[in-house]
């Protein structure tokens, strides 16, 4: 199975700051990676697919990059609603797997 | 407008069974791959079952293989998850999810989830 390792586990930032989240795959997955946001009590929300493509309706402050084994989600300027948990997910191989998550919390 | 609503969750004893349903509207099940994803209390996401748009490809995670079965009824706009021989570690919120753009293996639309609690 492909293991996705997300870092850091927790990111403490203030509104308006830039957030940089990392996801590392145990084997190369080309660009077959997505990012999700999950707010408390809600279902996950697809943000980015194929490493760098924003899903429908996702604001431009969210961007993704990377290929192979190293991927990054960047939130250029944090809005209050962006404080949440973020997961990466790979579709390079079955079983499809998620990373353990990064919590972005208010500093 | 895409809508998805799960039902069928609840309490079960170890070794018992439950059948989850996900009723969808705003699209045809035959046009999109569908999945079940679960989240144990306070934990991360785990992909457990996948059914392709054609119905020809079905995958189950090792943790549920042989115990859970994904299926659908296109006429009833419904996706199902038959859960047999339940274990305490199956306790989680179960989400049904629809792929982005057909068979992308990226879940775009999600239901609100239904809670399954397995305890003796």
* Cβ pair A98:B46 closer than 8 A: yes
Q: What is the mean pLDDT of residues A25-51?
A: 97
C-alpha span between B63 and B60 (Å, rounded): 8
Please tell me the predicted confidence (pLDDT) of residue B90.
98
Chain B hits for A44, Cβ within 8 Å: 37, 45, 95, 107, 110
pLDDT at A67 over 90: yes
Q: Chain A: nearest CA to B102, how far in angstroms?
A: 14
Question: Which value, to the nearest 10 degrees, does the dihedral of the CA atoms of residues B50, B52, B55, B60 take?
Answer: -20
Chain A hits for B104, Cβ within 8 Å: 49, 91
Among chain A residues, the shortest Cα distance to B108 is held by: A46
3-state secondary structure chain A: CCCEEEECCEEEECCCCCEEEEEEECCCCCCCEEEEEECCCCCCEEEEECCCEECCCCCCCEEEEEECCEEEEEECCCCHHHCCEEEEEECCCCCCEECCCEEEEEC
Q: Is residue A92 less than 8 Å (CB to CB) from chain B?
A: no
Each residue's pLDDT, cut to its tens digit, for chain B (120 residues) gives 999 999 999 999 999 999 999 999 999 999 999 999 999 999 999 999 999 999 999 999 999 999 999 999 999 999 999 999 999 999 999 999 999 987 889 999 999 999 999 999
| Main-chain dihedrals φ then ψ at residue B64, nearest 5 degrees | -125, -5
Residue B90 CA, chain-centre distance (Å), reads 13
Q: Please give the mean pLDDT across all residues of chain A.
A: 97
Q: Is residue A6 less than 8 Å (CB to CB) from chain B?
A: no
Chain B hits for A94, Cβ within 8 Å: 50, 59
């Amino acid at each position: 199975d492909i293991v996705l390792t997300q870092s850091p586990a927790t990111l403490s930032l203030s509104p308006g700051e830039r957030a940089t989240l990392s996801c590392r795959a145990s084997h190369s997955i080309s660009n077959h990676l997505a990012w999700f946001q999950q707010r408390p009590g809600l279902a996950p929300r697809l943000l980015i697919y194929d490493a760098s493509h924003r899903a429908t309706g996702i604001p431009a402050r969210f961007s993704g990059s990377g290929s192979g084994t190293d991927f990054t989600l960047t939130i250029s300027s944090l809005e209050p609603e962006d404080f949440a948990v973020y997961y990466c997910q790979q579709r390079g191989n079955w079983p499809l797997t998620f990373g353990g998550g990064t919590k972005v919390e208010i500093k | 407008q895409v809508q998805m609503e799960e039902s069928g969750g609840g309490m079960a004893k170890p070794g018992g069974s439950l059948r989850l349903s996900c009723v969808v509207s705003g699209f045809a099940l035959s046009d999109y791959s569908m999945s079940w994803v679960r989240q144990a209390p306070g934990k991360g996401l785990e992909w457990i079952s996948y059914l392709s748009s054609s119905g020809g490809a079905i995958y189950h995670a090792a943790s549920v293989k042989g115990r859970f079965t994904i299926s659908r009824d296109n006429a009833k706009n419904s996706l199902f998850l038959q859960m047999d021989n339940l274990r305490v570690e199956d306790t989680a919120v179960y989400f049904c999810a629809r792929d982005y753009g057909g068979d992308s293996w990226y879940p775009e639309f999600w239901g609100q989830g239904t809670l399954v609690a397995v305890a003796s």
